[in-house]
Every structure is written in C-alpha cells, then in structure tokens.
Structure 1
C-alpha cells in the first residue's frame, strides 16, 4: 500500500506513520469516488496520484520545517486548492500546522469538508471564494505565516493572488516546473509592488518525480490596499 509515496517521502527525509499512511489511502479512495460525480482531477491512477498529487505536495515539507514556528503553531493557506493539494497532504504530514484550504468552486470545497471529516482532521478550515475577493477581508488579509499555491498560472499572477494573504515576515510558496527565468523576471515587478521579494529557489530532484522548482517569496512590506485587483484581472493583465 502506497509504496511509491513511502519511497518518495523517504527521499525527502520523511517517514510516514501508519496513521498517516491510512489517511493518504483514505484520501485516495474518497478522491476517486467523488471524482465520478464532480471534476476533481484528471489523474486517477493509483501510482500517479501518489506521485503527482501526494508526493508533489510533500516536497514543500522540508521548506516549511526550516521556518521558525510562530506562537501556537504555523498558519498555512492553500490558494486555489482544488482537490486539496498541496494543503491537505501538508496537514497530514505536519499535524502541528493549522491549514486553511480555499477554492472558488463550492462542489470542491464540499468534497474537502467531507474529506476532513472522514480523516478526523482538526486544525483545518475550508473557505469558498475567489482569492481576489477573500484577500480584501480583514479576517484573511495578511494573516497567514505561509501561503502556498500549485502554480498552474504565470508567476506574476500567483504573486498577486498569494502575497496579500501573507503576513509581513511570512512567506509565499509557488510550485513550478520547466524554465521559469522569464516568469521570474516578470514577477519581480509584481513582488516589488505587493511587498515581496524572492527568498530562495529550490530545485527538487527526486527519483520518482520530474524535476520541479519551489519558489519561496518573503513578505517584507504590507501590500497596498488596492491589491489584489478585481476578479479575473490578475490573470488577464498580470502586473
């Protein structure tokens, strides 16, 4: 059971407990069952889910573990979480982290609420809404130690949708693949406007995964109140 995930996790220096393995197995089973009703993922093969969803999410664990813990534990927001990645695998692997999962699609957040109930996970909050709107709410703006996103869009857009949620002194993390030199150059302006800077770029090279990059951004100043712009604008007209 979960042989690929266990092997890959060990390459990251992680040893999953029997309880964590049971949680990942149940996660897979519920994901496949619900995927027959709502479109959660195109990846359904058992081994591929272990690698492309679960292990890919866990590549962030060593990065997070290096961060000094805030009082009462770290708070983490996953923007555009979809079927819960990377936020929920991170919560399984890091029980002390308080995780908030955000997605604009109510059917997906209904799945996530069902899933955390089945997994008996505490310290998980589910939010339904667009990042462009939620980031202007006082309860969420600049409140999180860590903000993560599996960046399927361009990096300048990711920056605008994540940094406003991040407290000054916190970090935003984007996962990317391929050549991102041009994206990084374009994102520098967005980071400067929104109060961030590139802290480090980490290359992930695991035997079972394609090479990928983790871009860690540090929040060094408050985000101007006008950002993020209205829904759709960060995607249509990146900073």
Structure 2
C-alpha cells in the first residue's frame, strides 16, 4: 500500500501541488535535522508513514471539522510541525497556528512555510501556558491538536483553553488510552470540556496503533487555567 492509498483510506486525496509540498517538507526536515534535533525518523518512507500519514489519520473522523470553510487550528507543542503542518497542506483553507516553546524550531517552521508557499499559517514562539493567556489565542480556535507526549490530564490543561465553545481538542495518543482517558475526566470537566469519544485505529498498511481523544469544549475555561509554567505537568488536575 503506497502513501496515496494510505491517505485515501483515511479520506484524504492530495493534488500534485500538495504531493510536491510534502516532498519539499521532507527535504527541508532532513536538511535541518543535520544541524538540530528535529526527529529521529529520517528515512523517506518512514517519514511518510510515522509523521505525515500519522498526522493526517484524523481525517478519517473529519465529519467533526472538515466542513467548516473558516476552520482554525492550533497545534500546541508542534515540534517539527506535526500534526499541524501536514493538516495545513491537506486542508489548505484552514487557518493554522503552530505553537512551540523553542525558538530554533519556530525558525525551521518559518522556513518550511516560506519554501512551501503556504499562506494562512504562522509559527509562534511561546510556551502553551503563556499562549493560552494571550487574548489573541485564548478561545479563538475551532480545533486544538497535540501530538506531544504528556498525560491527557496535563495536555488538556495546555490545549483546551485555546478552543472556542463548540470546538474540539484532539489529542493524538498511542497505546492503551482507556484508563488515561477515564483518569482525565475531572480535569476535562474543570476546564470546560467533555470527552466525546476515543477513536482507535491502525494506520493503513501498517501495524501502528493510534488513538484520537476528541474533547468537546462546552463552556469557557475558567480564567485561572492554565496554571503557571510547569504546574500542569508536575501536578496534573485530577
């Protein structure tokens, strides 16, 4: 099963421009990875599956978001741009913000955005706790996504404040997520959300398991959240 077929399985069809953008993204990723640590995955086929396909697999559930022509997405703790940049390439009409705490990664993201000729996307240098207190970003997005490795109770405090009421935080998780999701219910509720569903899948043509936790934002997040830097990870709500 090739990359095009794998994407078709999750409901995504790319045109020639988008395919060439993914190839260019790969080239810049490998080039910059030579002098800064962006990813341990650098083989072309592996990047296609473990970064690009993995970022886009949420398209299988796109009825929750893809029909919105004004769709706005923030990727919190984006790192080398996953999943936010692949989502922007696949859904070019979306307005996307890539948030990361490391300035040199933001410079890499700016380079990718420029070379791919993308518009309606910006890379922002900020910690999640700071960004979520900025009125320009707080409760301004239809969707917040994160592939960051952190407990769901921690992630939801970082990510849900960015989401407007009626929108979603989508957590990309792997492994057995049921107990973690159950344990995060109180944190989700405190922050104004509800776990609507946990969608489990195997990436097409692979044995890689992926879970998506869809947290629906039902009411505004109380102003005291997120707490000051470091606390959401040291002392998760629960």
TM-score band, normalised by the shorter chain? over 0.9
1:158 & 1:210 partners in 2: Cα distance?
22
Structure 1 counterpart of 2:86:
89
Structure 2 counterpart of 1:125:
122
Counterpart of 1:53 (choices 27, 51, 54) is 51
Structure 2: stretches of 5+ with no match in the other structure:
none
Counterpart of 1:16 (choices 14, 17, 25) is 14
1:221 and 2:209 equivalent? no
Deviation at 1:133, TM superposition (A): 1.0
What RMSD, in angstroms, separates the aligned Cα atoms of the two structures? Answer: 1.4
Corresponding residue SS for 2:26:
helix
1:154 & 1:88 partners in 2: Cα distance?
23
Q: 1:35 to 1:150 in 2, by over 3 A?
A: same
Corresponding residue SS for 2:184:
helix
Provide Cα deviations, 1:46-77, integer angstroms capped at 9, x if missing partner.
1110100000001122333433755x611000
TM normalised by structure 1 equals 0.95
Matches within 5 A, 1:72-221: 73-205=70-202, 206-221=204-219
When the two structures are aligned, how many residues end up with a matched partner? 236
Deviation at 1:127, TM superposition (A): 0.6
Corresponding residue SS for 1:60:
helix
Deviation at 1:16, TM superposition (A): 1.5
Structure 1: stretches of 5+ with no match in the other structure:
none
Contact 2:10 2:58 in 1 (8 A): no
Q: 1:182 to 1:212 in 2, by over 3 A?
A: same
